């Protein structure tokens, strides 16, 4: 028998249930990746993620070749391409991972119907992209959990499935042809700091960080300059690392750092189960408040200054410049720039979410849209009206000012925490800086937001 494995956001050989099951059920397996026209047409195939993805596909192909197979890459409509490959290979089954967005749900439905009409079967596997499947933890009579803490209490007690090893051999079908695997070098407009993708790079990053970073994670994860988080998010987004395996390995190690890291992986599952139950929340508000957000057309200069990292608030500008340079931003930075755009500038969270998706290597429908809604107070935050003050937050999370000096070289000569308030310098020193004035008055801005929320 022959099976096709459709790789999507699970670009790994280790701990990969669709691959493992396909190999168990068939003598030959065709590993397939489709560069999906719909994802490109919607503008989601941006340079930073395409570069990382190219590395992932090259690494997957190399590992498959070591096992007597190779990756088949096709471009086009995903359903059409899968059906074509299944037909060419004479496959009875197609295996893939369950995913959560509205688009993924539609893809699965179309694929199941198209395969069935050709006498084939789609098999969808849970607990591949997430550690716990959406819908597994629900309150009585409801379809999802809307508050994190009770979700986490139950998630923690979940009995995780066993971690699977990589297959030793993966016999493939010679006759099925694919395209040339895209290379990272061919992608234009990539941010200079985008890291290497692929399972091999991901495993190395995790092993190094587990050894030398995990223990201090709990105390240091919020320190902007310390950069002490795992930076595994792109690997989790593309599935070059398995969340089930990361949870297991962290628990084996134990300690407060490992515990805090596992909790973040639960946040990831939490947002995935919210989006899965409320797929419209990718674009529409999860909870409607009284907001009348300003659009990009209504505030073009403020939006442009925010995107450029030229708001005149050093910590905000540092974080936005980090995003442009690395295709990644520290979580504390994401919270600050998100609160600043939505609650201080009172601009629609979708403007910020889109900008993040244009640049983030880890840009992800569940994590990005649901975190933006959390920050905007239209999501699952239980304190939806809190406004983060960029100056007090900067002093707390970048106490020496090193993060700002790293990303805003125009302020590099300012010592210590004076870097957070350049407007306090005497006129002459302030004028000598090549750095913009503040684009908004913080107190007036909070007032506007709170009045709009009826507070
Ligand atoms: P670590 O602190 O090492 O955490 C380990 C892993 O846990 C992360 O890789 C991530 O997969 C998960 N995680 C951590 N925090 C969160 C969280 N708040 N929500 C969900 N999962 C989490 N994360 C994305 O992966 N993609 C996004 O597009 C994204 N957009 C965001 C937008 C905003 C406005 C905010 C506030 C947060 C966003 N996050 C997003 C969540 C978080 O900021 C990143 O996952 C984290 O900064 C990645 O760095 P790390 O891998 O070093 O994280």
Which residue spans within 25-116 are E strands per DSSP? 28-36, 72-76, 93-97
Closest Cα to atom 37 of ligand 1 = 371
- Ligand 1 centre from 25 Cα, in Å? 36
The tokens for 216 are 């201090």
Give the whole-angstrom CA distance, residue 363 versus residue 30.
28
pLDDT in tens, 281-337: 999 999 999 899 999 999 999 999 999 999 999 999 999 999 999 999 999 999 999
Distance CA 338, CA 222 (A): 16
- Tell whether residue 236 is among the known ligand binding residues: no
CB-based contact 246:214 (threshold 8 Å): no
Ligand 1 pocket, residue 331 CB under 6 Å? yes
In this predicted model, what pLDDT tens digit does every residue of 404-427 receive, in sequence order?
999 999 999 999 999 999 999 999
Measured CA to CA, the distance from residue 34 to residue 8 in angstroms comes to 8
Model confidence at 374: pLDDT above 90: yes
CA–centroid distance, residue 203 to ligand 1 (Å) = 18
11 assigned to a ligand binding site: no
- ipTM (interface predicted TM): 1.00
Adjacent-strand bridge partners of 130: none
* pLDDT at 177 (0 to 100): 93
Query: Which backbone phi and psi does 231 adopt, to 5 degrees?
Result: 55, 30
Q: Among 23-27, 101-105, 274-278, 438-442, whose mean pLDDT is lowest?
A: 23-27
If you write DSSP's letter for every residue of 316-380 in order, what string do you get?
HHHHHHHHHHHS---HHHHHHHHHIIIIIS-B-HHHHHHHHHHH-TT--IIIIIHHHHHHHTSSS
Residue 174's pLDDT band, with cuts at 50, 70 and 90, is: confident
Kindly list the strands in the beta sheet with 2-7, ordered across the sheet, starting from the edge strand earlier in the chain: 72-76, 28-36, 2-7, 93-97, 121-125
- Protein residue whose Cα sits closest to atom 14 of ligand 1: 264
Mean pLDDT on 363-390: 97
- Average of pLDDT values for 121-143? 97
Work out the angle at residue 351's Cα, subtended by the Cα atoms of residues 448 and 369, and round it to the nearest 5 degrees.
105
The residue whose CA has the least distance to atom 34 of ligand 1 is 372
* Any atom of ligand 1 within 6 Å of the Cβ of 319: no
Ligand 1 neighbour 336 (Cβ under 6 A): no
Report the C-alpha gap between 26 and 4 in whole angstroms.
9
- Ligand 1 atom 32, closest CA: 368
For residue 4 and ligand 1, the question of a CB distance below 6 A is answered with: no
Q: Does 427 show up as a binding residue in the annotation?
A: no
Is 274 a residue whose pLDDT tops 90?
yes
pLDDT, tens only, 213-270: 999 999 999 999 999 999 999 999 999 999 999 999 999 999 999 999 999 999 999 9
Q: What is the pTM of this model?
A: 0.98
- What is the arithmetic mean of pLDDT over 346-356? 98
- Quick check: 151 and 137 in contact, CB under 8 A? yes
pLDDT surpasses 90 at 173: no
| Residue listed under structure tokens 């995790």 | 206
Question: Is 90 exceeded by the pLDDT of residue 70?
Answer: yes
Distance CA 114, CA 94 (A): 11
- Which residue CA neighbors atom 8 of ligand 1 most closely? 233
Buried b (16+ CB within 10 A) or exposed e, 332-356: bbbbbbbbbbbbbbbbbbbbbbbbb
- The pLDDT mean for the chain works out to 97
Average pLDDT over residues 136-140: 95
Is residue 271 within 6 Å of ligand 1 at its C-beta? yes
d(CA 340, CA 17): 41
What domains does the chain contain, in order, with CATH numbers?
Answer: 2-125 (3.40.50.620), 130-162+200-277 (1.25.40.80), 300-452 (1.10.579.10)
User: Does 375 contact ligand 1 (Cβ within 6 A)?
Assistant: yes
Distance from the Cα of residue 77 to its chain's centroid: 24
**How distant is the alpha carbon of residue 5 from its chain centre?**
23
pLDDT of residue 38: 97
360 lines ligand 1 (CB under 6 A): yes
Please tell me whether 358 is known to bind a ligand: no
* Portion of the chain with pLDDT greater than 90, in percent: 97
Does 376 sit in the ligand 1 pocket, CB within 6 Å? Answer: no
Q: Let me know: does 61 contact 72? Beta carbons within 8 Å.
A: no
Residue 368 in contact with ligand 1 by CB distance below 6 A: yes
């Amino acid at each position: 028998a022959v099976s096709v494995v459709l790789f999507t956001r699970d670009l790994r050989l280790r701990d990969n249930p669709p691959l493992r099951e396909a190999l168990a059920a068939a003598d030959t397996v065709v590993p397939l990746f489709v560069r999906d026209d719909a994802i490109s047409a919607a503008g989601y195939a941006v340079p930073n993620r395409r570069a990382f993805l190219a590395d992932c596909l090259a690494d997957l192909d190399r590992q498959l070749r070591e096992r007597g197979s190779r990756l088949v890459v096709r471009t086009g409509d995903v359903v059409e391409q899968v059906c074509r490959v299944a037909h060419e290979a004479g496959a009875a089954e197609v295996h893939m991972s369950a995913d959560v967005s509205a688009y993924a749900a539609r893809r699965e439905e179309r694929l199941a119907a198209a395969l069935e009409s050709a006498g084939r079967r789609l098999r969808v596997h849970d607990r591949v992209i997430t550690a716990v499947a959406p819908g597994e933890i629900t309150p009585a009579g409801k379809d999802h959990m809307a508050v994190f803490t009770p979700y986490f209490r139950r998630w923690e007690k979940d009995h995780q499935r066993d971690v699977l090893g990589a297959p030793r051999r993966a016999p493939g079908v010679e006759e099925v042809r694919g395209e040339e695997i895209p290379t990272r070098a061919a992608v234009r407009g990539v941010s200079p700091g985008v890291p290497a993708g692929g399972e091999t790079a991901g495993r190395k990053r995790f092993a190094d960080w587990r050894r030398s970073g995990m223990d201090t994670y709990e105390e240091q994860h919020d320190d902007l300059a310390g950069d002490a988080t795992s930076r595994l998010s792109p690997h989790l987004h593309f599935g070059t690392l398995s969340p089930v395996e990361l949870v297991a390995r962290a628990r084996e190690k134990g300690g407060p750092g490992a515990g805090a890291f596992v909790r973040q992986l639960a946040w990831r599952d939490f947002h995935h189960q919210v989006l899965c139950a409320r797929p419209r929340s990718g674009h529409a508000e999860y909870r409607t408040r009284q907001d009348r957000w300003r659009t990009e057309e209504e505030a073009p200069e403020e939006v442009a200054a925010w995107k450029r990292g030229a708001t005149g608030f050093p910590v905000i500008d540092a974080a936005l410049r980090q995003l442009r340079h690395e295709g990644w931003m520290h979580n504390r930075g994401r919270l600050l720039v998100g609160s600043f755009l939505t609650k201080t500038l009172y601009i629609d969270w979708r403007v910020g979410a889109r900008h993040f998706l244009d640049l983030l290597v880890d840009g992800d429908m569940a994590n990005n849209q649901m975190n933006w809604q959390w920050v905007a107070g239209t999501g699952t935050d239980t304190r939806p009206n809190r406004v983060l003050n960029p100056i007090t937050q900067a002093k707390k999370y970048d106490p020496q000012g090193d993060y700002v000096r790293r990303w805003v070289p125009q302020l590099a000569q300012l010592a210590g925490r004076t870097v957070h308030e350049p407007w306090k310098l005497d006129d002459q020193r302030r004028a000598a800086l090549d750095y913009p004035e503040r684009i908004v008055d913080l107190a007036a801005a909070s007032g506007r937001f709170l009045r709009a929320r009826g507070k």
